[in-house]
Structures are given as structure tokens and as C-alpha cells.
């Protein structure tokens, strides 16, 4: 068994300090977070954390159980990359004069699915969304032309196998926090893991 990339999805109530409590769970175990995204979910009162780590599955399973013990956490899932649909957004700033003179912009855009977000006299900003391998390719292409700045967003992901998930999530909107939120009665492929 070897380490692999896992995406942990955590559904929570929107409470101050929860991000810090979740981050502490990782830092105590000396686990590096590769990517972290927080956003509202489709339910008004529920937020979603998407956390990417490289770890052994057994460790990830234990992490999810530990995260679920937090009072404001409704449910924590973990998935491999094959079990999710995911994207990252990347932006690249390059000198406009070099790009205009030495690169056929139309070809660059079409080959890498990029679009120009800002075009100024001194620089141009391109945007690409995709998997990390795809966004890394454009770094290699632009580096010889004086890449000024690069930034990549955290991962956003949707679990492929989540039939009926939305209706279960909606139930939390109408329940008072407490026993039901702690018991985490969602149905999922890892039900036996989370009921230990």
C-alpha cells in the first residue's frame, strides 16, 4: 500500500473558528494539505470544505472520523481522483510585447484552452481551468517568454456517486443542531467506515 492523492469533502455548519479546528487535526498528525477550498453548498446554511492530501487510505479514514467529531461538522467523505469530477483554475501573467511578437496568441489559446482575462500594454493575463497536469503544461510554454506571475486556485470537486445526497443535505436545513448533526446519518459508499 502506498500514499495516493485523496480529496476530503466536509459539510459543515457555517461557524467561526471551524477552519482552524479542522486544520489543527491535520497539523497534529504532520499531514500537509496540498489544496484547501471553502465555499457555500447548495443548501443555504451548509458550507463545504474541499481538502486535498497525499496519504495512506487508512490514515485518511481516521482523519475523516476525527473531523466528524467536531460539533459543527455534518459529514466528511474521502474520495480518490477517479471518484470525483474536479477542476482547478490557473492564471498566468506574461509581458504583452513578448507574447505579441513571439507567440501566435490564437494558437496558444486553442492548444491550452486558455483565454485572455486582461490585456494591457505591459502585461497580459491568461486563465486556464483543468487538472494540475494541464495547468502545469502552460507554465512550461510561457516560461521562455518571461512568465511574470503564476497562481493556481484550490481544487473544486463534485463526488460522482452521490445519488440522493442533495435530499439528505437539505434535511439538515430544517433540523436543529445537536444529536442529528453529530450522528451523521448520510448514506454513502463509506457508511461502514463512518459508523465505527
Summarize pLDDT for 34-80 with one digit per residue, the tens: 999 999 888 888 889 999 999 999 999 999 999 999 888 988 999 99
pLDDT in tens, 103-158: 676 677 778 888 889 999 999 999 999 999 889 988 888 888 889 999 999 999 98
Q: At what angle do helices 132-142 and 105-112 cross, to 10 degrees?
A: 160
The two domains 4-85+157-194 and 86-152 share their CATH topology (first three levels equal): yes
pLDDT at 188: 44
Q: How far apart are CA 174 and CA 194, in angstroms?
A: 23
Yes or no: say if 67 and 28 are a contact pair by the CB < 8 Å rule. no
Q: Domains of the chain: which residue ranges?
A: 4-85+157-194, 86-152
Q: Which CATH architecture has domain 86-152?
A: 2-Layer Sandwich (3.30)
The 3-state secondary structure of 140-155, one letter per residue:
HHHHHHCCCEEEECCC
* Strand, coil or helix: 87: strand
Sequence-separated (6 or more) residues with CB below 8 Å from residue 132 = 88, 152
Sequence-separated (6 or more) residues with CB below 8 Å from residue 69 = none
Q: Quick one: fold of 4-85+157-194? A: Alpha-Beta Plaits (3.30.70)
pTM over 0.75: yes
Amino acid at each position: 500500500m502506498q500514499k495516493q492523492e485523496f480529496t476530503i469533502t466536509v459539510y459543515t455548519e457555517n461557524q467561526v473558528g471551524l477552519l482552524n479546528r479542522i486544520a489543527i487535526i491535520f497539523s497534529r498528525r504532520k499531514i500537509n494539505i496540498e489544496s484547501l477550498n471553502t465555499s457555500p453548498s447548495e443548501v443555504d446554511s451548509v458550507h463545504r470544505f474541499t481538502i486535498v492530501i497525499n496519504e495512506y487510505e487508512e490514515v485518511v479514514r481516521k482523519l475523516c472520523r476525527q473531523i466528524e467529531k467536531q460539533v459543527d461538522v455534518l459529514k466528511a467523505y474521502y474520495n480518490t481522483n477517479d471518484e470525483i469530477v474536479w477542476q482547478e483554475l490557473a492564471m498566468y501573467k506574461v509581458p504583452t510585447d513578448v507574447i505579441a511578437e513571439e507567440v501566435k496568441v490564437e494558437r496558444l489559446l486553442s492548444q491550452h484552452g486558455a483565454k485572455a482575462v486582461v490585456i494591457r500594454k505591459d502585461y497580459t493575463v491568461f486563465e486556464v481551468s483543468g487538472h494540475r497536469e494541464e495547468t502545469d503544461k502552460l507554465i512550461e510554454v510561457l516560461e521562455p517568454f518571461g512568465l511574470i506571475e503564476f497562481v493556481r486556485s484550490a481544487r473544486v470537486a463534485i463526488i460522482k456517486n452521490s445519488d440522493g445526497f442533495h435530499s439528505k443535505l437539505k434535511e439538515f436545513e430544517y433540523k436543529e443542531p445537536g444529536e442529528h448533526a453529530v450522528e451523521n446519518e448520510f448514506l454513502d459508499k463509506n457508511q461502514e467506515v463512518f459508523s465505527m
